[in-house]
Every structure is written in structure tokens, then in C-alpha cells.
Amino acid sequence: MRFSARLFIVLVLALAACDSAQLPPPPAAQRPVRDGPPPPAQIQGELSEPVDVSIVQLIATPERFDGKMIRVIGFLHLEFEGNALYLHETDFCHSISANAVWVAVGWPPKDEQMARSNSYVLLEGRFDAQSKGHFGMFSGSIRDVSRLNGWNVDAESRRCDPRLYNRTAPQPPPPPRR
């Protein structure tokens, strides 16, 4: 009896050890940052159409779109160490990079890409939630850009012209003399 009780305890402990060896994967915040593209087994929607998302969705829930092909509309600005797609043109003018995602098109960009700078565009590419662009200033990045088209709509006169933007606030005109 004593021998069978010991055997039973040993079996229970062995089974418990085997079960604990299958740990769940770590949360996204603890996963290591990957270099290069994810392995093919991790790519979801590889052969399907890109997912239509807004920049707000990418910023608020980046883990939902990490590694997926996406289609997004935003204000594109291309410059050395500052390629980004902003939620709104005003976010660019006020340097609110938290409202933008890095666009990995390389430097210098192709002429047809540069022609779309400082305008609203429809962009398709693979979203990477871990890569935050130059000095980690942005809320994710889009790489493997496969589509970059202008997004033209009739809009009211612009309050902010990024082509003329400088870091000093414009001074109001002096009051008329009487």
C-alpha cells in the first residue's frame, strides 16, 4: 500500500510538471521587438484584401492590426527622418507625432511618392505596431507600401499650409492707423 501511494504521488507530480511546461505566450508588451518581416505563419490576411482602418484605430488598438495589410487615409508628409501619415494636416503643422504613423518608404522617396507629400492620400501597406519610426516618435509604422494614391476632396480653404510652415507663429498684421 505504501509503495502504491508513493507511486501515485510521483505520477501526479510528473503530470503536473508536464502540464506546467506548456505555458501560454507572453503578453504583447513583453514580446521581443522583431527585426525584419514576421515569419509567414504569423502573417494574417496575406492573400486577402487589405483591411480598411482609420489612423485612430491604428493608434488606439495597434495590436489588432500588427503584421496585417491595411488600407488607411491620412495626411502624408515626407521629409528626411520624418516620413509620416498624420491623422490630420493640422497634426503635422503642430508637430503632433503621436497622431501619426511612420511610413517606411526609404530615403529619398521615389518621385511619384514625393509628389504626394503634403497632401491627403490613400495608402496600403503592412502595419508594424512595434516599430515607431525615427527616435520612436510615432504610434507605429507602415512598411511594404504597395499603394499610394492621392485622396482629393473638395475642402474649404486651408488654415494651415505645410509647404509654408515654419516653427514660429505668424504675427498678426498691425492694426490700421487712424
d(CA 161, CA 175): 24
Burial string for 100-114 (b: 16+ CB within 10 Å, else e) reads bbbbbbeeebeeebe
Contacts with 88 (C-beta within 8 Å, 6 or more apart), sequence order:
74, 75, 99
Does this model's pTM top 0.75? My answer is: no
Q: Over the chain, what is the mean pLDDT? A: 77
Model confidence pLDDT, tens digit, residues 62-71:
999 999 999 9
pLDDT of residue 6: 72
d(CA 38, CA 173): 55
- Residue ranges in the chain whose pLDDT is less than 50: 20-21, 29-45, 157
At residue 33's C-alpha, the angle toward residues 49 and 62, to 5°, is 45
3: cell is: 509503495
Q: Which residue ranges form the domains of the chain, and what is each CATH number?
A: 48-152 (2.40.50.140)
Model confidence pLDDT, tens digit, residues 4-25:
667 667 666 665 655 544 555 5
